[in-house]
Amino acid sequence: MTRHDDILAAIGNTPLVGLPSMSPKAGVRLWAKLEGNNPTGSTKDRIALAMVEAAEAAGALTPQKTILEPTSGNTGISLAMVARRKGYHLTVVLPDNASQERLGLLRLFGAEIVFSDGDKGTNGSIEVARALAEDPAYYMPFQYGNPANPKAHEEGTGREIVADLPEVTHFVAGMGTGGTLTGAGRALHAHDPSVRVVAAEPELGDLVYGLRSLDEGFIPPIFDPSEVNRKFLVRSDDALRATRELTSKEGIFAGISSGAVIHVAQRIAAEVEEGDVVCLLADGGWKYLSTEAWAEDLATAEKQVSESLWW
């Protein structure tokens, strides 16, 4: 269906496309779930709408309240779009090293921005937001602990993959809030318990922002580790190289966290002889054009990756 009554109805049902040049073996097919095709350009549109509508249904969110959320960028942008469409005010807590495109989009949709220390990443944003949330004027969906997050991926992302590729053998997504892995994992395991759900997780201390190392000490409450069969650690330079290769070989312009997912999928493909590996590409690359991630000089790009937010 391509006709919708409003922009919110256009969320989800994103394309699943083959990546014939990215697999090291002919018998292993890689597929990309293009979440950048959502209205604001990321998978976070799914959970933003789900969390707001769940809060409305429960009576927790009323027109008198301001939505408050800690974010590394994309969830805030998605909430800003949903809030603007539904008539709510929004305050986001964002690390101060977010890209200019993210800041511009948040302001365009009318969000108020509170900055946190970029060196603390999303953990710093969570600390600041929790302190602000003591004010009853705010309603904080809190993507890291909201069951509507994994539910959106169970009922949306996971079921879409099953419908488009019932023979799926592996699903790879980045470890962020844990909502995508948990929710899509539930749908995929309900379809076929043998499907392997795999997390791409950054090396401890290595910044692939938006991705989270569980060894940092904060485990999102919504994350269900029983749905994840395996995890791979990824360095930021590996994520960057895979992202650039995705553009040069397949013509797909995706964010750096997507490169981490592709890198893991290629490692899986090297281990098995046959399979269909679905890669969740969380966003497009458009929000990062002000950075040097696609600089001709790889060293310049690698330096940029270590200093910027990628989700």
Residues forming the active site: 44, 257
Nearest to 264, CA basis, from 288, 296, 230: 230
Are 15 and 250 in contact by the 8 Å Cβ rule? The answer is no
* Three-state secondary structure of 243-292: HHHHHHHHCCCECHHHHHHHHHHHHHHHHCCCEEEEEEECEECHHHCCCC
Q: What is the DSSP letter of 35?
A: G
Give the pair of three-digit tokens for residue 41: 């350009």
Tokens 């309603």 — which residue?
139
At 90, give phi and psi (nearest 5°).
-135, 135
- Burial (CB < 10 A; 0-12, 13-18, 19+), residue 42, is buried
